[in-house]
């Protein structure tokens, strides 16, 4: 049970979980944007703001038109 491979695997798994836990979603970031400027969740203005911010953030994280993903060198 105390093998180096097991410890290494457990360490990598723990690191992966912790690193992903710090990432927020695009949806939560859009929600934070709208609530930080004063919109109340559920109001008409909030819904419009949320949809607009969500669209903008999805554009920010998408590939440019015509760009194909390339395999990683790692």
Q: Locate tokens 């970031």: which residue?
A: 29
User: Average pLDDT by consecutive 10-residue portion of the chain (74 residues)?
Assistant: 67 54 76 92 93 91 74 71
CA 74 – CA 71 distance, rounded (Å)? 9
pTM of the model: 0.54
Residue 18: what pLDDT?
Answer: 45
CA end-to-end span of the chain = 30
* Dmax (CA) of the chain: 58
């Amino acid at each position: 049970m105390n093998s180096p491979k097991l410890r290494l695997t457990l360490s990598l798994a723990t690191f992966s979980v912790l690193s992903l836990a710090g990432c927020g979603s695009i949806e939560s970031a859009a929600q934070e944007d709208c609530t930080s400027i004063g919109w109340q969740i559920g109001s008409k203005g909030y819904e419009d703001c949320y949809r607009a911010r969500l669209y903008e953030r999805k554009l920010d994280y998408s590939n440019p038109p015509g760009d194909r993903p390339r395999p990683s060198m790692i």
